[in-house]
Amino acid sequence: MGPAANAQEAAAQFKQAMRAFAGAVTIITSSHASHRYGMTATAVCSVSADPPTLLVCINRATSTHGAIARSGVYCVNVLRYEDRELSAIFSGVQKGEGRFRAGEWLRLATGAPVLASALVSFDCRVAARHDHGTHSVFFGAVEALRIGAKGKPLLYANGQYAKLAALHHGEPLPEGLDYWGY
């Protein structure tokens, strides 16, 4: 692929290239004025452990965006492979409150819905927001977290769902190296 001729082509090239970027599938939820909101998302990233902070990138056209912007809270629920049906439900198969008919939902500190069968749930309060293009990046201070069910994460790569497979010996990082660095 060479340089794009216009913005539309650049966006199409970018989307095509992002297919190579494997991501863990989550459901990001929020609660506002007694209504629950939620959507499937892979654009989630840890920011820092001190203080514990997680960022999410949310399209401003989604219903969940409005709820997070107004309530200032969200919960990131990391899905197990077995819960891939929930990923479909929360990315458009169902709408609104109907999405929550599937799964068992709890609450932790902020009131945002917490999926009981998630691998882990991060209950966050918005600490900062940065708008860029079509999306908002919300930085969430983790107020509570819940280790849920055991299992393997649901992944999304090359436009398909996938399951994590360990390397033959489950190769660890070399001695002395650590994801967090310092």
Ligand X SMILES: Cc1cc2nc3c(=O)[nH]c(=O)nc-3n(C[C@H](O)[C@H](O)[C@H](O)COP(=O)(O)O)c2cc1C
Q: Closest separation between CB of residue 37 and ligand X, Å?
A: 7
The answer to whether the CB of 179 falls within 8 A of the CB of 172 is no
Q: How many angstroms separate the CA atoms of 156 and 123, rounded?
A: 23
Q: Does residue 94 interact with ligand X by CB under 6 A?
A: no
Task: Give the footprint of ligand X on residues 96-155 (CB under 6 A).
Answer: none
Write the interaction track for ligand X spanning residues 144-173; mark x where CB under 6 A is met and - where it is not.
Answer: ------------x-----------------
Task: Considering only the stretches 58-66, 111-119, 139-147, 163-171, report the one whose residues sit in contact with ligand X under the rule CB under 6 A.
Answer: 58-66
Judged on CB neighbours under 10 Å (0-12, 13-18, 19+), 73 is buried
Q: Does residue 41 interact with ligand X by CB under 6 A?
A: yes
- List CB contacts of 170: < 8 A, sequence separation 6 or more: none
Cα angle 151, 155, 158 (rounded to 5 degrees) comes to 160
> Which residue sits closest to ligand X, CB atoms considered?
43
Q: How many angstroms separate the CA atoms of 43 and 56, rounded?
A: 6
Q: Does residue 76 interact with ligand X by CB under 6 A?
A: no
Beta-bridged to residue 23, according to DSSP, are: 156
Quick one: which of 69, 84, 91, 162 contacts ligand X (CB under 6 A)?
91
Binding site for ligand X (CB under 6 A): 25, 39-43, 57-59, 62-64, 90-92, 95, 156
